[in-house]
């Protein structure tokens, strides 16, 4: 019970920070379409790290490079785009789990560990544009939660559908899908 409470607290902090950043910038978060979806649990190989906001890009690049090299050199099979899952945020920055979905987990090696994205009911949205503007998407999700009286059931994650390593060089065309697990009682369609 204590862990679930901590997860909700951390998720609320992340969403609040993103919403505050967007409101401060005067951005309109209403341009996002939020959907409720059912997702299956997804095995993944991951690395965890702590980073300040300005360090995220470099830390992700390092983690994804190490993960891709490990998965490919050990006969792993990718099962989706890379993702970043946000477990905590404080005055020092973020605690992040960078991961690659795989068809089946591999053995752990050093900082690379098998993990799993949760299955169940999630609220989702797609952000098109630079990563620096993902706060707008997180703010829209936070506003939607409040408007629809929904509660998060775990940490939010971002799935990087198109990204620089995948051949897209224009940040305005990057597509990122954001997933937020919902409490079972809140899984019904939005009002």
pLDDT 10s digits, 74-129: 999 999 999 999 999 888 899 999 999 999 999 999 999 999 999 999 999 999 99
The reply to whether 46 and 113 lie within a common domain is: yes
The reply to whether 53 and 29 lie within a common domain is: no
Count of domains for the chain: 2
Strand order in the sheet with 42-51: 35-39, 120-128, 175-181, 157-160, 83-90, 93-101, 42-51, 113-117
Q: Which residues pair with 10 in a beta bridge?
A: none
Look at the alpha carbons of 148, 146, 175, 98 in this order and tell me if their dihedral is positive or negative.
Answer: negative
Q: What is the pLDDT of residue 189?
A: 52
Q: What is the pLDDT of residue 2?
A: 38
Please state the φ and ψ torsions of residue 55, each to the nearest 5 degrees.
-100, -10
Q: What is the pLDDT of residue 72?
A: 97
Largest Cα–Cα separation, the chain: 48
Residues of the chain with pLDDT under 50: 1-27, 186-187, 191
Q: What is the pLDDT of residue 92?
A: 87
Assess contact for 127 and 171: CB atoms under 8 A: no
DSSP annotation string for 74-136: TT--B-S--EEEEEEEETTEEEEEEEEEBSS----BTTBEEEEEPPEEEEEEEEES-GGGHHH
Q: What predicted TM-score, i.e. pTM, was given to this entire model? A: 0.82
Name the residue range of residue 47's domain: 42-117
Over the Cα atoms of the chain, what is R_g? 16
CATH number at 70 reads 3.20.80.10
The reply to whether 90 and 27 lie within a common domain is: no
């Amino acid at each position: 019970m204590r862990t679930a409470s901590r997860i909700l607290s951390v998720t609320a902090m992340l969403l609040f920070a993103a919403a505050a950043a967007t409101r401060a910038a005067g951005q309109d978060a209403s341009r996002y379409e939020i959907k409720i979806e059912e997702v299956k649990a997804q095995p993944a190989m991951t690395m965890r790290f702590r980073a300040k906001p300005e360090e995220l890009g470099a830390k992700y690049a390092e983690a994804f490079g190490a993960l891709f090299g490990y998965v490919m050199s050990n006969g792993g099979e990718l099962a989706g785009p890379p993702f970043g899952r946000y477990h905590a945020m404080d005055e020092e920055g973020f605690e992040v789990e960078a991961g690659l979905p795989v068809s089946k987990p591999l053995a752990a090696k050093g900082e690379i560990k098998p993990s799993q994205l949760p299955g169940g009911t999630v609220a989702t949205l797609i952000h098109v544009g630079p990563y620096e503007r993902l706060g707008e998407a997180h703010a829209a999700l936070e506003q939607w939660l409040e408007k629809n009286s929904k509660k998060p059931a775990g940490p939010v994650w971002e799935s990087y559908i198109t990204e620089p390593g995948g051949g897209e060089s224009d940040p305005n065309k990057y597509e990122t899908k954001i997933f937020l697990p919902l409490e079972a009682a809140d899984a019904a369609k939005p009002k």
